[in-house]
Amino acid sequence: MNAKVLEERLIHIYRHLHQYPELSHEEFETTSRIKEWLIDEDIRLEETILKTGVVANIGNNEGPVVAIRADIDALPIQEKTDLPYASKIRGKMHACGHDFHTATAIGAAYLLKKEEEQLQGSIRLLFQPAEEYGAGAEKVIKAGHLEDVEAIVGLHNKPDLQVGTIGIKGGPLMAAVDRFKVVINGKGAHAALPHNGNDPIVASAHIITALQTIVSRNVSPLRNAVVSVTRIEGGNTWNVIPSSVTIEGTVRTFDKEVRAHVKERFYTILENIFNTFLMEGDIKWYEGPPPLINHCSLIEAIESGAKSAGLETIEPELSTAGEDFAHYLEKVPGAFAFLGTSGTEDWHHPSFTINEKALIKGAYFLYSSAKYLLQQQHDVLKI
């Protein structure tokens, strides 16, 4: 199919996915449709133990294997875009553009299939479930789909970049994501008689203030970290001191050393405040994906792919958002790029949109980058 026909088909695929979003590990219909769209072009599906998600291969069984990854899940957000193809599922929306990622990867698959006989190895397509909440990348790895992969490439839409541009850089690109939940247990009392209790609200105020010193006083200003308290809950009326307060929040970092140091300081601060105020505390730390660190050795091949796709490469800003593609990069060399989509709002916003002109750009970028990576790995292995 020519570029115009391909673009029209990708728009159709994208709009269908957008209308029928499915949350992490619920992507059964999405999985079924992806399989249909691949089978339509005689693209070979691979067996998998994954309950949702699709793995496919293009090429021969000789030579290196390069993977293309796209995530497929949506978010529990009520859409507010007024698009003619807006979500038909109440309370669910593709507010992070995973429908866009899936469509571009299918487009790359169609382009690669036309050149299957000429490929110097194989391209593996990973349509990954559960990026948002379900540790999908780790499940793909445990299922064995990365074991023979020499390199991997992926992209994420970037609403604040214009269509036709792409952000590519070696080294850190996106943050490690950790979540915390702290329950501060004191002793309730009448507000008029606070000495009869042990006020967890006062303790929580000290905790929230002290946590801000981790970034300002414990992390070098030449490095990056974010500590945000995003929820505080305690008490239910004006004249009673509650017995407990709950706070929640997130920590974002860009390297393992800073990540470990911030966690250590977090626990030290809380334990000291608990002791100072004679409180009992329950601390839960939920470790998310690691920092996404692109392999510098692959950036030249990725930039060549972008150039072949007619894209302007730029130096992207670091993003404090997280991305479980980072798990793949801890296993095999790879790179992740930000593709400009001229969006109206940022990720996870109910009015999030993308410019559909970016679909064909993304498809050609993944197609070209995969071929350059395949050639690079072929040369390295001297096959």
Distance in angstroms (rounded) separating the CA atoms of residues 377 and 383: 9
Contact status, residue 152 vs residue 276, Cβ threshold 8 Å: no
Q: Which residues pair with 253 in a beta bridge?
A: 176, 225
Phi, psi dihedrals of residue 309, rounded to the nearest 5°: -85, 0
**Per-residue tens of pLDDT for the chain, all 383 residues:** 799 999 999 999 999 999 999 999 999 999 999 999 999 999 999 999 999 999 999 998 788 999 999 999 999 999 999 999 999 999 999 999 999 999 999 999 999 999 999 998 999 999 999 999 879 999 999 999 999 999 999 999 999 999 999 999 999 999 999 999 999 999 999 999 999 999 999 999 999 999 999 999 999 999 999 999 999 999 999 999 999 999 999 999 999 999 999 999 999 999 999 999 999 999 999 999 999 999 999 999 999 999 999 999 999 999 999 999 999 999 999 999 999 999 999 999 999 999 999 999 999 999 999 999 999 987 765 54
Which residue type sits at 382?
Answer: K
Q: Which two tokens stand for residue 89?
A: 């599922």
Q: Is 307 exposed, middle or buried, given 0-12, 13-18 or 19+ CB atoms closer than 10 A?
A: middle
Nearest 5°: the CA angle 273, 275, 277 is 70
Q: Which two tokens stand for residue 66?
A: 């390069």
206 carries a ligand binding annotation? no
**Is 3.40.50.10860 the CATH classification of the domain at 176-287?**
no
Per CATH, which fold does 3-172+291-381 belong to? Aminopeptidase (3.40.630)
132 carries a ligand binding annotation? yes
156 carries a ligand binding annotation? yes
Phi, psi dihedrals of residue 28, rounded to the nearest 5°: -70, -45
Distance in angstroms (rounded) separating the CA atoms of residues 339 and 354: 11
Q: How far apart are the first and last CA of the chain?
A: 31
348 carries a ligand binding annotation? yes
Cite the residue boundaries of each domain of the chain with CATH code 3.30.70.360: 176-287
Pairing of strands 122-128, 54-59: antiparallel
Distance in angstroms (rounded) separating the CA atoms of residues 3 and 55: 25
Cite the residue boundaries of each domain of the chain with CATH code 3.40.630.10: 3-172+291-381
Contact status, residue 294 vs residue 350, Cβ threshold 8 Å: no
Farthest CA pair distance, the chain:
82
Contact status, residue 182 vs residue 207, Cβ threshold 8 Å: yes
